[in-house]
């Protein structure tokens, strides 16, 4: 399978310190790839390398099927916002975007205006970018990354400094671009709750190593979410569960049943148990978030 972005045992060392250690990630066309990891885990280093801002020490990567040593024009198909947004403070948003469009070889005068609208900075008018709020600067950085309709957009902590409405707008924008244009995103964020709303694939990095890489669906399944059911008769309860379509469950020693699927059917379970004359003593839905899963995973790894 050909990936839009693939790293192979990517390693980066600064002196004796290893910032990235044999990291291999695989980003498919149309993915919103969430790169997860604590501060200093190596997320930004990985992004910097795939964007050509830092040199790898070992391993390699390919973008759109081209090896890192022979990227050529393919480099133009990526957009990036890494660490802080890069723009010229003495110019307004439109001029900054015009400059980026020039770099991308876009001469359409309407394009910067369209981008200003897309990132919601029309109201800023001629205000110089250096006088923008943190959120506005972040939006401008995203706009600059999106200039030229790149196929791969790398965003490092894109919602930093944004207010809740801004976060929602950026999230919607990413989803829209992903669905309508098929743009692939590689996003890092420490706000996992937000990332989990859009990510289609995750890469979890800890201490420079990739701990896990899996599609969002698979990861959600791996989260130890369950329905804890306590009845007056465990053996009859099992029969009821099987009849109403449950197969993934486990009976514990104290008679408690842990169900690992169809978490939204607690009502059905209660009704079915009552209909069969089984008394439900307790039914609790315990959902583990991706964040909790990550903490559990990284915690384990650290040990």
Partner 1 sequence: MTGLLKMEFRRLFKSFFFWAYPVIIVVLLIINKLSVNEKQDEIALTVVLELSTNILYIAMIVCGILMVSFWSKEDKHGYTKNILGNVSGRHILTIVKLITSTCVMLFYSVFNFIYCFVSYKIEFEKMVKTYRVYLYPESADLMPKGFEDRWISREQYDLETAEYFNRTIHRYLLMVLVGLVIMALIVLLYELLRSATFAYVMVILVSTKFIENLVLNLVALITDKIDPVAQNLLFTQFMYFDEYASVGEEMNPGLPLWTFLVRNIIYLAVLATSAILISKKKDSV
d(CA 200, CA 215): 6
- CB closer to partner 1 out of 144 and 273: 144
Q: Smallest Cα–Cα separation from 257: which of 228, 218, 219, 226?
A: 228
Closer residue to partner 1, CB minimum distance, 157 or 194: 157
Shortest reach from residue 136's CB to partner 1, in Å: 15
CA distance 208 to 12: 9
Burial class (CB in 10 A: 0-12, 13-18, 19+), 10: buried
The least distance separating partner 1 from the CB of residue 96, rounded to whole angstroms, comes to: 9
The distance of closest approach from Cβ of residue 81 to partner 1 in the complex, given in angstroms and rounded to an integer, is 8
Instruction: Give the interface with partner 1 as residue ranges (CB under 8 A).
Output: 48, 51-55, 71-72, 74-76, 78-80, 82-89, 99-100, 102-105, 144-145, 148, 154
Distance CA 62, CA 223 (A): 31
The smaller minimum CB distance to partner 1, of residues 71 and 238, is found at 71
Contact 83/158 with Cβ under 8 angstroms?
A: no
Closest CB to partner 1 among 75 and 287? 75
Q: How far apart are CA 140 and CA 98, in angstroms?
A: 12
Interhelix angle 93-104/110-118, rounded to 10 degrees, is 120
Residue 98: CB minimum distance to partner 1, A:
8
Nearer to partner 1, 99 or 244 (CB): 99
Q: Least distance in Å: CB of 147 to partner 1?
A: 9
- What is the CB neighbour count within 10 angstroms for residue 88? 12
Q: Residue 110: what are its φ and ψ, rounded to 5°?
A: -80, -20
Q: How far is the CB of 289 from partner 1 (least distance, A)?
A: 32
Q: Which H helix or E strand runs over 250?
A: strand 249-251
Q: Which of 154/195 has CB closer to partner 1?
A: 154
CB of 112 to partner 1, least distance (A): 13
Query: How far apart are alpha carbons 284 and 121 in whole angstroms?
Result: 46
Contacts of 283 (CB under 8 A, 6+ apart): 227, 228, 229, 230, 266, 269, 270
| Residue closer to partner 1, measured from CB, 74 or 175 | 74
């Amino acid at each position: 399978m050909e990936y839009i972005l693939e790293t192979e045992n990517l390693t980066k060392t600064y002196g004796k310190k290893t910032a990235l250690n044999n990291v291999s990630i695989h980003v498919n066309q149309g993915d919103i790839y969430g790169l997860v990891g604590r501060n200093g885990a190596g997320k930004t280093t990985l992004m910097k390398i795939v964007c050509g801002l830092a040199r790898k020490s070992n391993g390699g990567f390919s973008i759109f099927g081209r090896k890192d040593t022979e990227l050529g024009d393919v480099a133009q198909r990526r957009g990036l916002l890494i660490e802080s947004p890069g723009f010229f403070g003495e110019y307004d948003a439109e001029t900054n975007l015009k400059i980026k469009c020039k770099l991308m070889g876009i001469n359409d005068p309407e394009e910067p205006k369209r981008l200003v609208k897309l990132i919601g900075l029309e109201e800023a008018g001629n205000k110089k970018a250096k006088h923008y709020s943190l959120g506005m600067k972040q939006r401008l950085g995203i706009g600059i990354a999106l200039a030229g309709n790149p196929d791969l957009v790398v965003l490092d902590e894109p919602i930093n400094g944004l207010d809740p409405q801004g976060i929602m707008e950026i999230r919607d924008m990413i989803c829209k671009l992903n669905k309508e244009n098929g743009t692939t995103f590689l996003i890092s964020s420490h706000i996992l709750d937000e990332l989990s709303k859009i990510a289609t694939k995750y890469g979890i990095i800890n201490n420079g190593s990739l701990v896990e890489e899996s599609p969002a669906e698979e990861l959600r399944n791996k989260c130890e979410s369950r329905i804890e059911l306590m009845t007056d008769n465990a053996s009859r309860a099992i029969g009821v569960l099987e009849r109403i379509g449950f197969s993934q469950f486990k009976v514990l020693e104290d008679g408690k049943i842990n169900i690992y699927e169809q978490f939204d059917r607690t009502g059905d379970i209660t009704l079915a148990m009552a209909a069969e004359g089984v008394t439900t003593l307790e039914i609790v839905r315990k959902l583990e978030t991706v964040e909790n899963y990550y903490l559990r995973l990284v915690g384990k790894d650290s040990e």
